[in-house]
């Protein structure tokens, strides 16, 4: 493949040496003058040659026009040669899927479709996005699975090829938007504006040829670097698998530790939240006691009023008086008990009110810790999923490589190859 690219470069170099921009300027100007129309496309140049009388075949302008058209035909053959011997083999050998950009008029040529469809899965697995996340952590991942450089070279070459093909195909009009920037300097100074495109056409095509050869060489180089022998590839795959497995093990251990810590912190947090609520519970209890005391005091007053009424009667009932006095004593005891209970509750409330700011502060800290742990656990579980997904193509690639290596060893050790075969009579 390298030789084919070198041979193509040499042909392009010969074309560049045989083409003179100054001669093209002079001749195209004369042809336009002689034909009384601006020759600014290949179609017009062909009409000029076809309309020339036989006796004018030896005139310099006609000879040049014929030479120009003949060399343009050679450039088309050179493009076909590049596709057949360089581009298609590269596409086939290294299975780089090339995105097809629309043509100027939105159509895609049959040749473009056929070239685009070439794809053989011989180098890389179908899905590598998961493993490529670790290319900066494990150098072997980049070596085995990162095809960025290959894809860049392939897509840039496909882009140049397409524009190159369009310039060769469209004889009616030369589309200046297809020109490469570097070819502008090939147009001689003080050239007529109407002739700039046709004067730039051949230099631009030759520049695209040169750039295509450079990109093909780059594509070949970076792709060849991926073509590892089975033994080397298996060693690198073992290294990748080992590192990812270690990462997964460490991650699982970390997750276990984090989940246990979260469970402990959550339990403590629940306790602190309950402790925060204790102030409200104590205050509620004290209000209940105050209400009971208020109720007992009211009933006591009613009992005392009743006692005074009984005593004030001329014919008071002694048993009724004793019963009321007993009720008064009972209510007084109840009030004293409630007041004692209220004192105890008030003391508890004072203690809780003193420590509540600390509890709130610790609760906030513990809640932040739980939220942080939950976020870390979520991220680590996501990372675990990534690692498990990444190990899938590695395991599959390792299996295929082991099969290849086993077949190679079997063929190497077969009697037919090592000359140990014997013939039994």
The CATH number of the domain where 342 resides is what?
1.10.287
What does pTM read for this prediction?
0.61
- Regarding whether 180 and 71 lie in a shared domain, the answer is yes
Mean pLDDT of the chain: 83
- Residue 414 is predicted with a pLDDT of 63
Band (pLDDT 50/70/90 cuts) for residue 166 is very high
Of 177, 192, 227, the one marking the end of a domain is 227
Is the pLDDT confidence value at 420 over 80? no
pLDDT exceeds 80 at position 93: no
Return the pLDDT at 91. Answer: 85
Q: What is the per-residue pLDDT for 403?
A: 87
pLDDT at site 316: 66
Assess whether 130 and 185 both reside in one domain. yes
65-73 average pLDDT score: 93
Task: Classify residue 96 by burial, with Cβ atoms within 10 Å: 0-12, 13-18, 19+.
Answer: buried
Q: Name which of 13-27, 116-130, 154-168, 236-250 the model is least confident about.
A: 116-130
pLDDT at position 305: 86
Total domains in the chain come to 2
Could you tell me which residue, 276 or 182, shows the higher pLDDT? 182
Token pair for 92: 């086939």
pLDDT of residue 115: 40
Does residue 258 share a domain with residue 217? no
Query: Which domain covers residue 136, as residue numbers?
Result: 2-227
What is the average pLDDT across 296-325?
84
């Amino acid at each position: 493949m390298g030789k084919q690219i070198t041979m193509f470069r040499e042909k392009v170099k010969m074309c560049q040496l045989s083409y003179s921009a100054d001669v093209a300027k002079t001749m195209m100007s004369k042809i336009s003058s002689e034909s009384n129309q601006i020759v600014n496309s290949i179609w017009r140049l062909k009409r000029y040659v076809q309309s020339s009388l036989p006796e004018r075949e030896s005139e310099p302008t006609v000879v040049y026009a014929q030479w120009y058209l003949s060399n343009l035909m050679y450039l088309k053959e050179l493009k076909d040669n590049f596709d057949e011997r360089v581009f298609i083999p590269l596409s086939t050998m290294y299975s780089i899927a090339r995105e097809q950009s629309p043509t100027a008029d939105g159509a895609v040529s049959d040749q473009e479709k056929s070239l685009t469809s070439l794809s053989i899965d011989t180098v890389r697995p179908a899905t590598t996005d998961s493993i490529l996340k670790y290319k900066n952590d494990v150098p072997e991942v980049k070596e085995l699975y990162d095809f960025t450089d290959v894809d860049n070279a392939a897509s840039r070459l496909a882009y140049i090829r397409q524009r190159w093909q369009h310039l060769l195909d469209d004889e009616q009009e030369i589309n200046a938007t297809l020109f490469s920037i570097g070819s502008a300097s090939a147009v001689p100074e003080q050239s007529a504006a109407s002739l700039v495109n046709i004067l730039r056409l051949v230099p631009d095509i030759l520049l695209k040829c040169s750039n295509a050869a450079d990109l093909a060489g780059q594509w070949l180089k970076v792709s060849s670097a991926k073509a590892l022998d089975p033994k080397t590839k298996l060693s690198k795959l073992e290294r990748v698998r080992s590192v990812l497995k270690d990462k997964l093990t460490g991650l699982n251990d970390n997750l276990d530790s984090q989940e246990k810590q979260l469970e402990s912190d959550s339990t403590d947090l629940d306790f602190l939240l309950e402790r925060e609520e204790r102030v409200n519970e104590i205050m509620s209890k004290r209000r209940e006691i105050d209400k009971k005391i208020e109720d007992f005091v009211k009933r006591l007053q009613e009992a005392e009023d009743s006692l005074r009424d009984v005593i004030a009667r001329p014919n008071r009932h002694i048993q009724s008086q004793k019963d009321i006095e007993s009720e008064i004593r009972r209510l007084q005891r109840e009030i004293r008990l409630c007041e004692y209970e209220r004192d105890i509750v008030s003391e508890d409330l004072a203690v809780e009110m003193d420590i509540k700011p600390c509890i709130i502060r610790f609760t906030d800290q513990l809640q932040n810790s739980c939220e942080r742990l939950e976020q870390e656990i979520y991220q680590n579980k996501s990372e675990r999923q990534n690692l498990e997904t990444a190990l899938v193509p590695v395991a599959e690639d390792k299996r295929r490589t082991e099969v290849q290596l086993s077949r190679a060893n079997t063929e190497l050790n077969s009697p037919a190859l090592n000359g140990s075969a014997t013939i039994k009579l």
